[in-house]
Amino acid sequence: MAVLVLVVAGLLLSGCRGVRTEVRKTEFMMDTAVTITAYGPRAEQAVAAAFAEMRRVAALMNADDPDSEVSLINRNAGLEPVRVSSETFELLELCQHYSELAAGAFDVTVRPLVELWGIGKKDKYVPSPEEIERALQLVDYRKVILDQNTKTVFLPVPGMGVDLGGAAKGYAADRAREILKEHGVRSALIDAGGNIWTVGIRPDGRKWRIGIRHPRPEVAGGVLAVLPSQDLTLVTSGDYERYFLKYGTRYHHIFDPHTGLPARELVSATIIGNNSAEADILSTAVFVLGADRGLALTNQLPHITTVVVTPKLQVLTAGSHETELELVYKEGEDQ
Protein backbone atom coordinates (compact mmCIF):
# COMPACT_ATOMS: atom_id res chain seq x y z
CA MET A 1 0.00 0.00 0.00
CA ALA A 2 2.73 2.43 1.00
CA VAL A 3 4.58 1.64 -2.24
CA LEU A 4 1.50 2.28 -4.28
CA VAL A 5 0.97 5.65 -2.63
CA LEU A 6 4.57 6.52 -3.32
CA VAL A 7 4.25 5.54 -6.96
CA VAL A 8 1.09 7.59 -7.33
CA ALA A 9 2.76 10.54 -5.62
CA GLY A 10 5.75 10.07 -7.89
CA LEU A 11 3.55 10.11 -10.98
CA LEU A 12 1.80 13.23 -9.80
CA LEU A 13 5.10 14.93 -9.13
CA SER A 14 6.53 14.06 -12.51
CA GLY A 15 3.28 15.15 -14.11
CA CYS A 16 3.56 18.52 -12.37
CA ARG A 17 7.19 18.81 -13.35
CA GLY A 18 6.16 18.22 -16.96
CA VAL A 19 3.58 20.97 -16.90
CA ARG A 20 5.83 23.41 -15.11
CA THR A 21 9.03 22.68 -17.02
CA GLU A 22 10.14 26.03 -18.31
CA VAL A 23 12.22 26.34 -21.45
CA ARG A 24 13.49 29.80 -22.36
CA LYS A 25 15.70 30.42 -25.38
CA THR A 26 16.88 33.53 -27.18
CA GLU A 27 18.10 33.79 -30.76
CA PHE A 28 19.05 36.82 -32.80
CA MET A 29 17.11 37.03 -36.06
CA MET A 30 15.25 39.59 -38.18
CA ASP A 31 17.43 42.33 -36.68
CA THR A 32 16.19 41.61 -33.19
CA ALA A 33 16.51 39.30 -30.22
CA VAL A 34 13.71 36.74 -30.17
CA THR A 35 12.94 35.03 -26.87
CA ILE A 36 10.53 32.14 -26.53
CA THR A 37 9.45 30.89 -23.11
CA ALA A 38 7.33 27.75 -23.11
CA TYR A 39 6.03 25.30 -20.53
CA GLY A 40 5.09 21.66 -20.69
CA PRO A 41 6.61 18.25 -21.21
CA ARG A 42 7.44 18.86 -24.89
CA ALA A 43 8.53 22.46 -24.47
CA GLU A 44 12.14 21.77 -25.44
CA GLN A 45 11.29 20.32 -28.89
CA ALA A 46 8.51 22.84 -29.35
CA VAL A 47 10.80 25.83 -28.83
CA ALA A 48 13.48 24.39 -31.12
CA ALA A 49 10.86 23.79 -33.84
CA ALA A 50 9.39 27.29 -33.38
CA PHE A 51 12.82 28.88 -33.86
CA ALA A 52 13.47 26.76 -36.94
CA GLU A 53 10.16 27.97 -38.35
CA MET A 54 10.98 31.62 -37.65
CA ARG A 55 14.37 31.23 -39.33
CA ARG A 56 12.62 29.71 -42.34
CA VAL A 57 10.21 32.67 -42.59
CA ALA A 58 13.06 35.16 -42.14
CA ALA A 59 14.98 33.50 -44.97
CA LEU A 60 11.96 33.88 -47.29
CA MET A 61 11.16 37.47 -46.45
CA ASN A 62 14.35 39.34 -45.52
CA ALA A 63 15.03 41.97 -48.19
CA ASP A 64 18.66 42.20 -47.03
CA ASP A 65 19.26 38.53 -47.81
CA PRO A 66 20.05 38.09 -51.53
CA ASP A 67 18.63 34.55 -51.41
CA SER A 68 15.18 35.56 -50.12
CA GLU A 69 12.01 35.58 -52.20
CA VAL A 70 11.67 39.29 -51.52
CA SER A 71 15.13 39.91 -53.03
CA LEU A 72 14.17 37.85 -56.06
CA ILE A 73 11.05 39.99 -56.54
CA ASN A 74 13.15 43.15 -56.21
CA ARG A 75 15.89 42.01 -58.60
CA ASN A 76 13.20 41.39 -61.21
CA ALA A 77 11.59 44.83 -60.92
CA GLY A 78 10.86 46.09 -64.43
CA LEU A 79 11.83 42.71 -65.85
CA GLU A 80 9.35 39.94 -65.12
CA PRO A 81 6.82 38.54 -62.63
CA VAL A 82 8.30 36.24 -59.97
CA ARG A 83 6.55 33.16 -58.65
CA VAL A 84 6.65 33.04 -54.84
CA SER A 85 5.48 30.77 -52.03
CA SER A 86 1.86 31.10 -51.04
CA GLU A 87 2.91 32.55 -47.66
CA THR A 88 4.90 35.41 -49.17
CA PHE A 89 2.06 35.99 -51.64
CA GLU A 90 -0.60 36.03 -48.93
CA LEU A 91 1.39 38.33 -46.67
CA LEU A 92 1.82 40.74 -49.58
CA GLU A 93 -1.94 40.59 -50.15
CA LEU A 94 -2.55 41.37 -46.48
CA CYS A 95 -0.17 44.33 -46.74
CA GLN A 96 -2.04 45.61 -49.79
CA HIS A 97 -5.37 45.30 -47.99
CA TYR A 98 -4.20 47.47 -45.09
CA SER A 99 -2.42 49.92 -47.40
CA GLU A 100 -5.83 50.61 -48.95
CA LEU A 101 -7.47 51.02 -45.53
CA ALA A 102 -4.62 53.26 -44.35
CA ALA A 103 -4.58 55.40 -47.52
CA GLY A 104 -1.01 54.40 -48.28
CA ALA A 105 0.45 55.15 -44.81
CA PHE A 106 1.59 51.53 -44.87
CA ASP A 107 3.34 50.89 -48.16
CA VAL A 108 5.22 47.68 -48.83
CA THR A 109 7.14 49.38 -51.68
CA VAL A 110 9.11 51.61 -49.28
CA ARG A 111 12.29 49.68 -50.07
CA PRO A 112 13.96 52.52 -52.07
CA LEU A 113 13.47 54.83 -49.04
CA VAL A 114 14.75 52.19 -46.64
CA GLU A 115 17.88 51.76 -48.78
CA LEU A 116 18.39 55.50 -49.25
CA TRP A 117 18.23 56.34 -45.55
CA GLY A 118 20.01 53.14 -44.50
CA ILE A 119 18.99 53.73 -40.88
CA GLY A 120 20.74 51.37 -38.52
CA LYS A 121 23.17 50.45 -41.31
CA LYS A 122 25.56 53.20 -42.37
CA ASP A 123 26.91 56.40 -40.86
CA LYS A 124 24.64 59.24 -39.94
CA TYR A 125 23.30 60.54 -43.22
CA VAL A 126 20.33 62.69 -44.14
CA PRO A 127 19.59 62.43 -47.88
CA SER A 128 19.00 65.56 -49.95
CA PRO A 129 15.44 66.53 -50.95
CA GLU A 130 16.32 65.54 -54.54
CA GLU A 131 17.43 62.08 -53.48
CA ILE A 132 14.27 61.66 -51.43
CA GLU A 133 12.12 62.82 -54.34
CA ARG A 134 13.82 60.32 -56.67
CA ALA A 135 13.21 57.46 -54.23
CA LEU A 136 9.59 58.56 -53.73
CA GLN A 137 8.93 58.21 -57.47
CA LEU A 138 9.43 54.48 -56.96
CA VAL A 139 7.16 54.14 -53.93
CA ASP A 140 3.54 53.21 -54.69
CA TYR A 141 1.90 50.00 -53.47
CA ARG A 142 -0.84 50.41 -56.12
CA LYS A 143 1.67 49.55 -58.84
CA VAL A 144 2.46 46.10 -57.43
CA ILE A 145 0.87 43.38 -59.56
CA LEU A 146 -0.17 40.33 -57.56
CA ASP A 147 -1.53 37.55 -59.76
CA GLN A 148 -3.69 35.13 -57.75
CA ASN A 149 -3.69 32.44 -60.43
CA THR A 150 0.03 32.21 -61.00
CA LYS A 151 1.07 33.35 -57.47
CA THR A 152 3.42 35.82 -59.07
CA VAL A 153 4.53 39.26 -57.98
CA PHE A 154 5.57 41.91 -60.47
CA LEU A 155 7.07 45.31 -59.80
CA PRO A 156 6.59 47.10 -63.13
CA VAL A 157 9.19 49.88 -62.69
CA PRO A 158 12.95 49.21 -62.55
CA GLY A 159 14.30 50.27 -59.16
CA MET A 160 11.07 49.49 -57.31
CA GLY A 161 11.39 47.18 -54.31
CA VAL A 162 9.25 45.60 -51.63
CA ASP A 163 10.22 45.50 -47.95
CA LEU A 164 8.34 43.32 -45.48
CA GLY A 165 10.18 44.80 -42.49
CA GLY A 166 6.90 46.17 -41.14
CA ALA A 167 5.04 42.86 -41.28
CA ALA A 168 7.30 39.80 -41.41
CA LYS A 169 8.19 39.70 -37.71
CA GLY A 170 4.49 39.50 -36.89
CA TYR A 171 3.96 36.76 -39.45
CA ALA A 172 6.96 34.84 -38.09
CA ALA A 173 5.54 35.17 -34.56
CA ASP A 174 2.19 33.80 -35.80
CA ARG A 175 3.98 30.80 -37.29
CA ALA A 176 5.99 30.23 -34.09
CA ARG A 177 2.76 30.23 -32.10
CA GLU A 178 1.21 27.66 -34.45
CA ILE A 179 4.23 25.39 -34.09
CA LEU A 180 4.19 25.64 -30.29
CA LYS A 181 0.50 24.71 -30.28
CA GLU A 182 1.07 21.81 -32.69
CA HIS A 183 3.58 20.50 -30.14
CA GLY A 184 0.93 20.61 -27.44
CA VAL A 185 2.24 23.72 -25.67
CA ARG A 186 -0.59 25.45 -23.87
CA SER A 187 1.40 28.11 -22.05
CA ALA A 188 4.07 30.23 -23.72
CA LEU A 189 5.34 33.70 -24.41
CA ILE A 190 6.92 34.71 -27.70
CA ASP A 191 8.81 38.00 -27.67
CA ALA A 192 10.19 38.98 -31.05
CA GLY A 193 11.57 42.43 -30.21
CA GLY A 194 8.34 44.29 -29.60
CA ASN A 195 6.14 41.64 -31.24
CA ILE A 196 4.58 39.63 -28.42
CA TRP A 197 2.34 36.56 -28.50
CA THR A 198 0.90 35.20 -25.29
CA VAL A 199 -0.17 31.59 -25.64
CA GLY A 200 -2.79 30.54 -23.08
CA ILE A 201 -2.16 31.62 -19.50
CA ARG A 202 0.85 31.26 -17.23
CA PRO A 203 1.47 27.85 -15.65
CA ASP A 204 0.42 29.29 -12.27
CA GLY A 205 -3.08 29.84 -13.66
CA ARG A 206 -2.85 33.61 -13.99
CA LYS A 207 -2.88 35.71 -17.12
CA TRP A 208 0.40 36.88 -18.57
CA ARG A 209 1.22 40.47 -17.66
CA ILE A 210 2.72 42.25 -20.63
CA GLY A 211 4.44 45.59 -20.20
CA ILE A 212 4.27 48.11 -23.04
CA ARG A 213 7.49 50.09 -23.13
CA HIS A 214 7.34 53.82 -22.67
CA PRO A 215 8.94 55.42 -25.74
CA ARG A 216 10.78 57.99 -23.57
CA PRO A 217 11.99 56.02 -20.52
CA GLU A 218 14.31 58.89 -19.54
CA VAL A 219 11.23 61.06 -18.89
CA ALA A 220 8.64 58.57 -17.82
CA GLY A 221 10.30 55.42 -16.50
CA GLY A 222 10.37 52.21 -18.45
CA VAL A 223 6.76 51.05 -18.58
CA LEU A 224 3.83 52.84 -20.19
CA ALA A 225 1.12 50.29 -19.41
CA VAL A 226 0.55 46.69 -18.43
CA LEU A 227 -1.98 44.40 -20.07
CA PRO A 228 -3.16 41.16 -18.45
CA SER A 229 -3.12 38.94 -21.50
CA GLN A 230 -4.39 35.53 -22.61
CA ASP A 231 -4.06 34.49 -26.26
CA LEU A 232 -3.38 38.00 -27.43
CA THR A 233 -0.67 39.54 -29.57
CA LEU A 234 0.83 42.98 -28.86
CA VAL A 235 2.95 44.78 -31.41
CA THR A 236 4.65 48.15 -30.97
CA SER A 237 6.20 50.45 -33.55
CA GLY A 238 8.36 53.17 -32.04
CA ASP A 239 10.80 55.88 -33.06
CA TYR A 240 13.26 54.58 -30.46
CA GLU A 241 13.81 51.19 -32.07
CA ARG A 242 16.27 52.21 -34.79
CA TYR A 243 17.36 55.82 -35.21
CA PHE A 244 20.13 58.34 -35.24
CA LEU A 245 20.24 61.91 -33.97
CA LYS A 246 21.51 64.83 -36.04
CA TYR A 247 21.38 68.44 -34.79
CA GLY A 248 18.80 67.36 -32.23
CA THR A 249 16.47 65.71 -34.75
CA ARG A 250 15.68 62.04 -34.44
CA TYR A 251 15.76 60.18 -37.77
CA HIS A 252 14.21 56.75 -37.43
CA HIS A 253 13.20 53.76 -39.55
CA ILE A 254 9.45 54.25 -40.15
CA PHE A 255 8.81 56.45 -43.18
CA ASP A 256 5.82 58.44 -44.24
CA PRO A 257 5.44 57.24 -47.84
CA HIS A 258 3.96 60.61 -48.79
CA THR A 259 6.95 62.71 -47.68
CA GLY A 260 9.81 60.23 -47.75
CA LEU A 261 10.77 61.39 -44.25
CA PRO A 262 10.60 59.54 -40.93
CA ALA A 263 6.99 59.87 -39.71
CA ARG A 264 6.58 62.55 -37.03
CA GLU A 265 2.99 62.23 -35.81
CA LEU A 266 3.64 59.74 -33.01
CA VAL A 267 6.50 58.37 -30.95
CA SER A 268 4.92 54.96 -30.47
CA ALA A 269 1.91 52.94 -31.58
CA THR A 270 0.87 49.64 -30.00
CA ILE A 271 -1.71 47.30 -31.50
CA ILE A 272 -3.32 44.50 -29.50
CA GLY A 273 -5.14 41.83 -31.49
CA ASN A 274 -5.33 38.17 -32.39
CA ASN A 275 -3.14 38.00 -35.49
CA SER A 276 0.41 39.24 -35.22
CA ALA A 277 0.98 39.88 -38.94
CA GLU A 278 -2.09 42.10 -38.96
CA ALA A 279 -1.07 43.82 -35.70
CA ASP A 280 2.44 44.39 -37.08
CA ILE A 281 1.12 46.02 -40.26
CA LEU A 282 -1.35 48.11 -38.27
CA SER A 283 1.27 49.29 -35.77
CA THR A 284 3.37 50.66 -38.62
CA ALA A 285 0.31 52.14 -40.36
CA VAL A 286 -1.04 53.84 -37.21
CA PHE A 287 2.44 55.14 -36.36
CA VAL A 288 2.50 56.92 -39.74
CA LEU A 289 -1.14 58.05 -39.67
CA GLY A 290 -0.95 59.71 -36.25
CA ALA A 291 -3.45 59.76 -33.40
CA ASP A 292 -6.63 60.99 -35.11
CA ARG A 293 -6.41 59.12 -38.39
CA GLY A 294 -4.78 56.08 -36.77
CA LEU A 295 -7.52 55.64 -34.18
CA ALA A 296 -10.16 56.31 -36.84
CA LEU A 297 -8.69 53.39 -38.79
CA THR A 298 -8.50 50.92 -35.90
CA ASN A 299 -11.94 51.93 -34.60
CA GLN A 300 -13.30 50.25 -37.74
CA LEU A 301 -11.71 46.98 -36.55
CA PRO A 302 -13.61 45.82 -33.44
CA HIS A 303 -11.07 43.15 -32.46
CA ILE A 304 -8.20 45.64 -32.29
CA THR A 305 -7.08 47.70 -29.29
CA THR A 306 -4.75 50.65 -29.88
CA VAL A 307 -2.40 52.61 -27.62
CA VAL A 308 -0.59 55.62 -29.07
CA VAL A 309 1.85 58.11 -27.59
CA THR A 310 2.12 61.56 -29.16
CA PRO A 311 5.32 63.62 -29.33
CA LYS A 312 4.03 65.56 -26.29
CA LEU A 313 3.70 62.20 -24.54
CA GLN A 314 -0.06 62.21 -24.46
CA VAL A 315 -1.37 58.66 -24.26
CA LEU A 316 -4.52 57.76 -26.19
CA THR A 317 -6.21 54.37 -26.09
CA ALA A 318 -9.18 52.80 -27.86
CA GLY A 319 -10.64 49.36 -28.45
CA SER A 320 -12.04 46.28 -26.79
CA HIS A 321 -9.21 45.70 -24.28
CA GLU A 322 -8.93 49.37 -23.37
CA THR A 323 -10.49 48.94 -19.93
CA GLU A 324 -8.08 46.14 -19.00
CA LEU A 325 -5.01 48.27 -19.72
CA GLU A 326 -3.27 49.37 -16.53
CA LEU A 327 -1.67 52.68 -17.38
CA VAL A 328 1.53 53.13 -15.38
CA TYR A 329 2.45 56.48 -16.86
CA LYS A 330 -0.30 59.09 -16.81
CA GLU A 331 -0.08 61.62 -19.58
CA GLY A 332 1.41 65.02 -18.88
CA GLU A 333 3.01 63.92 -15.58
CA ASP A 334 6.38 65.35 -16.45
CA GLN A 335 5.43 67.73 -19.20
Q: Is 275 in the site for Mg ion (CB under 5 A)?
A: no
- x/- map, 17-56, ligand AMP, by CB under 6 A: ----------------------------------------
Longest dimension (CA), the chain: 87
Q: Which residue is nearest to ligand AMP (CB)?
A: 165
Binding partner of 106, given Mg ion, ligand AMP, none, CB within 5-8 angstroms per partner class: ligand AMP
Q: Is 163 in the site for ligand AMP (CB under 6 A)?
A: yes
Q: Is 101 helix (H, G, I), strand (E, B) or coil?
A: helix
Residues in contact with Mg ion, counted by CB under 5 A, come to a total of 4
Q: How far apart are CA 238 and CA 92, in angstroms?
A: 22
CB-count burial class (<10 Å; 0-12, 13-18, 19+) for 198: buried
Q: What does the CA dihedral 197, 282, 85, 185 come to, rounded to 10 degrees?
A: 10
Cβ-based nearer residue to Mg ion, 74 or 270: 270
Contacts of 98 (CB under 8 A, 6+ apart): 106, 278, 281, 282, 285
219-238: contacts with ligand AMP (CB under 6 A): 237
Q: Is 74 in the site for ligand AMP (CB under 6 A)?
A: no
114-143: contacts with ligand AMP (CB under 6 A): 114
Cβ-based nearer residue to ligand AMP, 43 or 190: 190
Closest CA to 70 of 100, 35, 110, 20: 110
Q: Give, as one character, the DSSP assignment of residue 255.
A: B
Min. distance of Cβ 103 from ligand AMP in angstroms?
A: 11
The 3-state DSSP composition of the chain as helix, strand, coil percent (nearest 5) reads: 35, 25, 40
Min. distance of Cβ 14 from Mg ion in angstroms?
A: 42
Contacts of 116 (CB under 8 A, 6+ apart): 127, 131, 132, 135
Q: How far apart are CA 39 and CA 41, in angstroms?
A: 7
Q: Is 71 in the site for Mg ion (CB under 5 A)?
A: no
Binding partner of 110, given ligand AMP, Mg ion, none, CB within 5-8 angstroms per partner class: ligand AMP
Q: Is 254 in the site for ligand AMP (CB under 6 A)?
A: yes
Cβ-based nearer residue to Mg ion, 68 or 283: 283
Chain residues binding Mg ion by CB under 5 A are 166, 280, 283-284
Chain residues binding ligand AMP by CB under 6 A are 106-108, 110, 114, 163, 165-166, 237, 241, 253-255, 257, 280, 283-284, 287-288
